[in-house]
Amino acid sequence: MGENGELLISNPFKQGKDGHRMFKFNKVFTPFASQGMLFSDIQPLIRSVLDGFNVCIFAYGQTGSGKTYTMSGPTTSKQDWGVNYRALNDLFDISLSRRNAFSYEVGVQMVEIYNEQVRDLLSNDIAETLGIWNTSQPNGLVVPDASLHSVKSTSDVLDLMEIGQANRAVGSTALNERSSRSHRLVILYMFEGWI
């Protein structure tokens, strides 16, 4: 990794400009970075949800590159928890510590995008496709017909995530025989009120 977050990749099998590609990153974590190190870097962004900001945590990459591990990690040990579990725990802990001044209501939607169709992973009718609306509200894109489930704790959300995961479309790829072949969105809504 060079200065200014630049990384030069050389391909010895290609000549000229095709033999070198420059990529620019805000931050790169080594393979030795722990889940905790990654989370501590994005924690301030996640906490801004409690100040009314919209936050998107997005993992992108090739099958087998570690997206699921980074986002979820193993659930057996808090030390290995991924971003999702750590973020939920942090948000519920903070909302609990502020309970004398603020009340929070939390809701969860879980949808998947598969073959250019949007489906509600927590609905009784998971075959039904949903529409996405672009609103003029600050929330931007919404899936208004997706079911919204009230939750009180991290474990409530994790239970819903298990249900949603079981309802995902699954099909093998050349790289992973159990790849989901879909994109899962876990949408958390936090509604704040004064006490």
**What's the full length of the chain, in residues?**
195
Query: Does the annotation place 30 within a ligand binding site?
Result: no
The candidate with the shortest Cα–Cα distance to 168, out of 155, 157, 178, is 178
Query: Does the annotation place 77 within a ligand binding site?
Result: no
Q: Collapsing DSSP states into helix, strand and coil, what is residue 18?
A: helix
Tokens 């939920």 belong to which residue?
88
Q: Return the number of other C-beta atoms located less than 10 Å from residue 73's C-beta.
A: 22
Question: Cα dihedral angle (21, 27, 29, 35), rounded to 10 degrees?
Answer: -140
Tokens 């909302």 belong to which residue?
95
Query: Does the annotation place 79 within a ligand binding site?
Result: no
Q: Return the number of other C-beta atoms located less than 10 Å from residue 86's C-beta.
A: 21
Query: Does the annotation place 65 within a ligand binding site?
Result: yes
Query: Does the annotation place 147 within a ligand binding site?
Result: no
Query: Does the annotation place 2 within a ligand binding site?
Result: no
Tell me if 90 sits within 8 A of 48, measured CB to CB.
no
Tell me if 175 sits within 8 A of 64, measured CB to CB.
yes
Binding positions for ATP are 61-68
Binding positions are 61-68
